[in-house]
Amino acid sequence: MGLGALTDGLAPTPPMGWNSWNHFGPFVSDQLVRETADALIESGMRDAGYRYVVVDDAWEGSVRSDDGNLEPNLWRFPNMHGLASYLHARELSYGLYTCAGDRTCQGYPGSRSREFVDARRFASWDVDFMKIDWCHSGGLDARTAYETWSEAIRATRRPMVLSICEWGRNRPWRWAGSVGHLWRTSGDIADRWDSVMDILDRQAALAEFAGPDHWNDPDMLEVGNGGMTDAEYRAHFSLWAILAAPLFAGNDIRTMSDATRAILIAPEVIAVDQDRLGRQGQRVSRERDVEVWVRELDGGARAVVLLNRGESAARAEVTWDLLGGSRADTALVRDLWERQDIGPRREGYDRTVAPHSAAMLRATRDNSARA
Ligand code: GLA
């Protein structure tokens, strides 16, 4: 845990929800958000834990109002508070974006030197989650700027999750734990396998900085956006879960396939992500294209991802010494995607993993076998 990390109970497990950016880019509207909210409920995603509905960039009008406030684009968002009420009535929460710099990444008015006014504005709309971006921030010190945001939010007296989005430029894991609830650790994800692998590698050294109320954020999910196979999306989702990453679906919930839905609501994979101990998983072995990632869970079991990054099928093996026990242990192994027990295994477990795929397991030390 980072020094003085937040413990305000607003994000005891990694926040989950939906964010408009990855699929819709700047094409956001009140209607899209309402339809997405309905689809989150209909699909079972809300009940699986996806609670924050986050409107990213391009909700803004092109200028501030005469009294200096941020205004929505009124054609697209005629009633911000009404939209919040729509979400709250459905047990969803409302997330909204702005930027720490002069302008947002899409060129709308930014919040530089208006942090207190804008946080108050967001609070007046009953916003629950603020994503603060970093475009056009020349001359600002990241830590100081986000500390100002944290104070501005506190001054509103409305609890709002603070999502820091400076793309990992200023090593936020070293300071952001006492400032915000989640912080991006990389540039923007793309809907491609190499992007997922690239971001994954950037997380390997960051596990010690994450914990309840303060999470590393490897960016929003691309599951269901069409650029990867379902096996690749399952691997992406497995990895984000073992990393204790915030899970923000970034696809069109209204039209997603059954296969996409099955990935996004996989209960035993989500349970790993949301494990209350809040330990981020780590890479414990890497041999050519095959990696083993392990996460300690509440109660002592371990979640395991066997990842094959390569272009051909490969044998992947986890031995129980890699889980912190002894190689001679016996563990009960369960497949978290198949939701099936594999059974007790001595020393370890191995399986063939298809190219660009992952298996996800839970291993629980079998005390009866040791007696
Ligand atoms: C940046 C952020 C993205 C998204 C866009 C919006 O690139 O990193 O997540 O918010 O801006 O313009």
For residues 85-97, give the mean pLDDT.
Answer: 98
For residues 315-324, give the mean pLDDT.
Answer: 96
* Inter-residue contact 20 to 55 (CB < 8 Å): yes
Q: Which of 20, 23, 132, 133 to mutate to test the pocket of ligand 1 (most atoms within 8 A of CB)?
A: 133
The confidence score (pLDDT) of residue 7 equals: 78
- Classified as helix, coil or strand, 162 is strand
Indicate the domain borders of the chain.
16-273, 282-365
The pLDDT of residue 370 is above 70: no
Q: Which two tokens stand for residue 271?
A: 């349970």
Cα torsion for 270, 250, 238, 180, to the nearest 10°? Answer: -70
The pLDDT of residue 371 is above 70: no
Please enumerate in sequence order all residues whose Cβ is within 8 A of that of 107, keeping only pairs 6 or more positions apart, or say none.
none
Choose, from 133, 217, 273, 275, the residue flagged as catalytic: 133
For residues 201-222, give the mean pLDDT.
Answer: 98
- Measured from the Cβ of residue 110, the count of other Cβ atoms closer than 10 Å reads 24
The pLDDT of residue 347 is above 80: yes
Helix (H) or strand (E) holding 270: helix 267-273
The residue assigned the tokens 């002069």 is 102
- Render the burial of 326-335: b for 16+ CB within 10 Å, e for the rest: eeebbbbbbe
DSSP 252: -
Please enumerate in sequence order all residues whose Cβ is within 8 A of that of 85, keeping only pairs 6 or more positions apart, or say none.
126
Start-to-end CA distance of the chain, whole Å, equals: 35
CB of 222 closer than 6 A to ligand 1? Answer: no
Residues in the chain: 371
pLDDT bucket at 369, cuts 50 / 70 / 90: low
Q: Is 198 a residue of the active site?
A: no
DSSP 321: G
CB of 21 closer than 6 A to ligand 1? Answer: yes
* Inter-residue contact 281 to 304 (CB < 8 Å): no
Main-chain phi, psi angles of 76, to 5 degrees: -90, -35
The pLDDT tens digits of the residues spanning 98-109 come to 999 999 999 999
The pLDDT tens digits of the residues spanning 31-87 come to 999 999 999 999 999 999 999 999 999 999 999 999 999 999 999 999 999 999 999
Q: Whose Cα sits closest to atom 8 in ligand 1?
A: 188
Q: In angstroms, what is the C-alpha Rg of the chain?
A: 21
Burial class (CB in 10 A: 0-12, 13-18, 19+), 90: middle
The confidence score (pLDDT) of residue 1 equals: 44
Please enumerate in sequence order all residues whose Cβ is within 8 A of that of 114, keeping only pairs 6 or more positions apart, or say none.
68, 70
* Ligand 1 atom with least separation from CA of 188: 8
Domains 16-273 and 282-365 share a fold: no
- Measured from the Cβ of residue 200, the count of other Cβ atoms closer than 10 Å reads 22
- The C-alpha angle 314, 318, 322, rounded to 5 degrees, equals 140
CA of 26 to the centre of ligand 1 (A): 10
- Which of 183, 341, 212 lies closest to 275 in space, CA to CA? 212
Whole-angstrom Cα distance, residue 153 to residue 161? 9
Q: CATH number of 282-365: 3.40.50.1010, 1.20.1630.10, 2.60.40.1080, 2.60.40.1180? A: 2.60.40.1180
The residue assigned the tokens 């709309």 is 125
Q: Which of 20, 165, 225 to mutate to test the pocket of ligand 1 (most atoms within 8 A of CB)?
A: 165
The pLDDT tens digits of the residues spanning 253-297 come to 999 999 999 999 999 999 999 999 999 999 999 999 999 999 999
Q: Which of 169, 188, 222, 248 to mutate to test the pocket of ligand 1 (most atoms within 8 A of CB)?
A: 188
State the chain's mean pLDDT as an integer.
Answer: 96
* Inter-residue contact 281 to 54 (CB < 8 Å): no
The confidence score (pLDDT) of residue 368 equals: 72
- Which of 50, 97, 90, 58 lies closest to 250 in space, CA to CA? 50
Compute CA distances 352 → 22, 238, 317, whole Å: 32, 17, 9
Predicted model pTM:
0.97
The pLDDT of residue 2 is above 60: no
The pLDDT tens digits of the residues spanning 301-315 come to 999 999 999 999 999
* Ligand 1 atom with least separation from CA of 187: 8
The pLDDT tens digits of the residues spanning 112-141 come to 999 999 999 999 999 999 999 999 999 999
Could you tell me the fold of the domain covering 16-273?
Answer: TIM Barrel (3.20.20)
For residues 166-184, give the mean pLDDT.
Answer: 98
